[in-house]
Amino acid sequence: MSNTPGTARRKASDWKVVTVTKDGRGSSKPDFVVTEEPMEIRAEGPGQEPQQISVTMRTPGNDFELAVGFLFTEGMVLQSDDVRTVKYCELVEGQEQKYNIVTVALSRGFDMALARRAMVTSSSCGICGTESIDQLLQATTPVDRESGPVVTAETLMRISESVRKSQPTFDRTGGLHAAALFDANGNISLVREDIGRHNAVDKVIGASVMAKTVPLTKHGLFCSGRLSFEIIQKAVMARIAFIAAVGAPSSLAVETADALGITLVGFLRDGKANVYTHEHRIEM
């Protein structure tokens, strides 16, 4: 299940820009812009034909982790052993290899109702907040109060900078989100970047599924952007009990984290943070 081909794809592209100053002067210089390309995720079970599950706009790299993570957080993959192989679209003689279609072969058949739900989720069809939480509580259970890392306030404050040091493509482009796993001591064990916040989270969770380290009951999740309901949904599927982000959470994200027993921290920057739910995992 190597990511080698996808990892070799360029995450940033060269572009010539004109910089303009407030005094009206302009100058030309080379720059880098983050790469954004579509990727189709397919799944197949024993005796089943590959089915399109989702198409996402992503930054190339760690494509297999993205595909596995998405299927896991949508409930189509339940454990690491469910994944048999992950591969790019089969090479057709005389045609160039396509790196924008990833097929995950599962060790068991999957429910097409889940596949259809994944398509609805990815297309952001609107449903009310109460219905969203109720559906999620039917699919999973709240995390245990004793699970998740317990961190000091001092440790919490340095997590953002630690992740920032592990974002090479962001340094070049300024246009990528990051997701990372941290432990009770603030150590960062895994960082993934993507133009999409949800994709970055899926890559982190997918890497953990492929490494057979889920459930992630001893780790927290850091996100570089804002927190939405979907990110809380993805985290709880991996049994993550602590989520911290540089940005703001939505009202539905806060309500969902509260209902699921997850510690939710927002505005983690400049030596400050807001704790919205279940503050018992932070030593003040």
% residues pLDDT > 70 (the chain): 81
Among candidate residues 89, 125, 128, 223, the one labeled active-site is: 125
Q: Which of the four pLDDT bands, split at 50, 70 and 90, describes residue 2?
A: very low
Q: Which residues pair with 194 in a beta bridge?
A: 177
- Candidates 229, 244, 197; CA nearest to 133 is 229
> What pLDDT, on a 0 to 100 scale, did the predictor assign at position 9?
59
What's the order of all strands across the beta sheet hosting 188-194?
188-194, 177-182, 220-223, 242-245, 263-269, 272-277
Rounded mean pLDDT, 221-233: 94
Taking the mean position of all CA atoms in its chain, how far away is CA 226? 12
Kindly list the domain boundaries of the chain, sorted by start residue.
151-283
Q: What is this structure's pTM?
A: 0.86
* d(C-alpha 222, C-alpha 225), whole Å: 9
Q: Does the pLDDT value for residue 107 go beyond 60?
A: yes
Known catalytic residue at 125: yes
151-283 CATH: 3.40.140.10
